[in-house]
Structure 1
Amino acid sequence: MIERVLIYAALALWTFIALFPLYWTLSTSFKLGRDVTQGHLIPWLDFQPSWKGFQSLGLSPDTIFAHSNVRDEFLNKFFNSVICSLGASALAVVIGSLAAYGLSRFDYKFGVWRNKDISFFFLSQLILPPVVLAMPFLILYKELALLDTRIGLILVYTLMVLPIVIWVMRDQFDTIPNEIEQAALVDGCSIWGAFFRIVLPIAMPGMVAAFILSIVLCWNEYFFASLLTGFDAQTLPVMVASQTGSQGINWWTMAALSTAAIAPLVLIGIFLERYIVMGLTAGSGK
């Protein structure tokens, strides 16, 4: 009994620690400047909630139907984030699934490298600091006229999340017995037919999980969005980071903008949690 109480107490403490940044962001979006600096946390007890943060974005109840240049800018950045995140995630899942299937089903040899070495090479690309690629990408994108374009961001985001997709999907394909594909081939399916009609439906939970993780990573990406865009293709993280004024940081505006920016990810986590868990835990008991 005591052990169970301690476990639940530890879980409750960890839940509080994990969710407190979200609560702080949400509560700050309803504060005034003095409430932010004084560290007030509990609405109606420590401070009186205000729509000032959302009013500055044209997202408050009294401004939502009025014309607002800031709201138009927010919606533009929001749609840029949606298009770039969905486009890059879909492209990464397509390419990564094919690469992962090859690493799972065929034996490759490049010098001393084998399949495991190739897989680790893909994962090692996540260790590379993005700033190392700043100058090469700037020069390349300038020559290809991809600066400040959605296509440019989609391409670089695809490269960014591709290693994770390959690793997730490779584990998915490893759990699917080869005998299923061989039986499909015996029944008259081609290799591609067996892949699309047999293997992919079984590996769909992993694809959904990889797709969702890719969306989250692309949605939160700031460095390349700030480096390779000017205005037309800027995303929400760049807009959030730019909320500074002559007197310092507009915390209430930044918090309101952050709340609006993370809301889609919170909804994804709530409604698609079972798909994420299903995809990431598939094959764990192999």
Structure 2
Amino acid sequence: MNKRLQQATGKSLIYAALCLWTVVCLFPIYWTLTTSFKLGRDVIRGRLIPGVDYVPSWVGWRSLGFSPDTIFEASTVRTEFFSRFENSLIISLGASSLSLVLGSLAAYGLARFSYRAGPLHNRDISFFFLSQLILPPAVLAMPILILYRAVDLLDTRIGVILIYTLSVLPIVIWITRDQFASIPRELEQAALVDGCSTWGAFFRVVLPLAMPGLAAAFILSVILCWNEYFLAALLTSSNAKTLPVMVASQTGVSGVGWWTMAALCFASVLPLVIVGLFLEKFIVKGLTAGSVK
């Protein structure tokens, strides 16, 4: 009886801790969503519960043209939002896809072949890639700006995609290298014996088994590219401006429009939540892919 009581108590504590952590993780999203329905006085007073502490208002969404009374009317801000959303979507997916292709090939080479550059070996080369994240982007601001102006890539999607690819490439290489290293070489050797070429073994055997790591690297790359602000603000002005730059523009001489910024932030974060939920199933499927030969 005491053993059952201890087990029940342990499970209760675990579930309580998980519930508490869930609240902590979801509270910023709840705060952002509820703030988008607040007036200025409600934001200042820190009202929390809509319908109890304050009366919800569409003021934040109305300023973006997404309220029920303005959704079917012409809105300059809504048009700008969709334009920035399109830029963020194309740039994030483009940079993440490009970094995944380049990074996975580099990671496969580091995991399967031995390299030597003087005293440096594979592990040193891998750490070199990861060490590029230590350098603050502000240090590279002036060289990048001068280079982009010389090659006419300022305020272009392709220019932002290229610099984002470089910024997330070290993370992709680091994640996928460990994934490739965990796959037994014997599986590739068996595929070669069965008649596959080197590329055939890579695409038919290695990639399906490495899919969880590739999916995780892709999700992380999309999130980093979607939320990046500094480089987007530096290299864009109008044509390729992204959502984070639009969110930051809500501050002005008259103060911060918290309700508008909250509505804009929630609308910006929502696609990431949907993508995460969709690719979560993909990761689980990838974990079981190739487990039975």
Shift of 1:208: 1.7
Which among 109, 122, 126 is matched to residue 115 of structure 1? 122
Shift of 1:254: 0.2
Q: Is the CA contact 2:209–2:287 (under 8 Å) kept in the aligned structure 1?
A: no
Query: For residue 222 of structure 2, what is the aligned residue in structure 1?
Result: 215
Structure-2 change in CA distance of 1:233 and 1:281 (3 Å): farther
Pairwise CA RMSD: 1.8
- Structure 1: any 5+ residue segments left out of the alignment? none
Q: 2:217 corresponds to which letter in structure 1? A: A
Q: Distance in 1 between matches of 2:268 and 2:9?
A: 41
Q: Does 1:23 align with 2:30?
A: yes
Shift of 1:233: 0.4
Q: Distance in 2 between matches of 1:182 and 1:106?
A: 14
Deviations 1:182-217 (A, max 9, x none): 222223322222212222222222222211111111
SS in 1 for 2:64: coil
Which among 77, 81, 102 is matched to residue 84 of structure 2? 77
Q: Distance in 1 between matches of 2:286 and 2:189?
A: 24
- Structure 2: any 5+ residue segments left out of the alignment? 1-7
Deviations 1:207-245 (A, max 9, x none): 222111111111010110011111110100000011024
Which among 263, 275, 281 is matched to residue 268 of structure 1? 275
Aligned counterparts, 1:1-286, within 5 A = 1-276=8-283
Structure-2 change in CA distance of 1:171 and 1:281 (3 Å): farther
Shift of 1:121: 1.1
Shift of 1:68: 0.6
Q: Is the CA contact 2:250–2:260 (under 8 Å) kept in the aligned structure 1?
A: yes
Shift of 1:280: 9.2
Shift of 1:276: 4.6
Equivalent pairs, count: 282
Q: Distance in 1 between matches of 2:252 and 2:191?
A: 64
Q: Is the CA contact 2:99–2:165 (under 8 Å) kept in the aligned structure 1?
A: yes
Shift of 1:177: 1.5
Deviations 1:91-111 (A, max 9, x none): 000000100000010000011
Q: Distance in 1 between matches of 2:158 and 2:287?
A: 29
Shift of 1:140: 0.7
Shift of 1:267: 1.3
Q: 1:6 corresponds to which letter in structure 2? A: L
Q: 1:107 corresponds to which letter in structure 2? A: S
Structure-2 change in CA distance of 1:188 and 1:7 (3 Å): closer
Instruction: Using the aligned pairs only, state the percent identity.
Output: 69
Q: 1:218 corresponds to which letter in structure 2? A: C
Shift of 1:281: 11
Q: 2:142 corresponds to which letter in structure 1? A: M
After TM superposition, the structure 1 stretch with the greater mean CA deviation from structure 2, 124-133 or 193-202, is: 193-202
Q: Is the CA contact 1:212–1:276 (under 8 Å) kept in the aligned structure 2?
A: no
After TM superposition, the structure 1 stretch with the greater mean CA deviation from structure 2, 271-280 or 254-263, is: 271-280
Structure-2 change in CA distance of 1:18 and 1:225 (3 Å): same
Deviations 1:146-171 (A, max 9, x none): 11110011001101111111111111
SS in 2 for 1:162: helix
Query: For residue 3 of structure 2, what is the aligned residue in structure 1?
Result: none
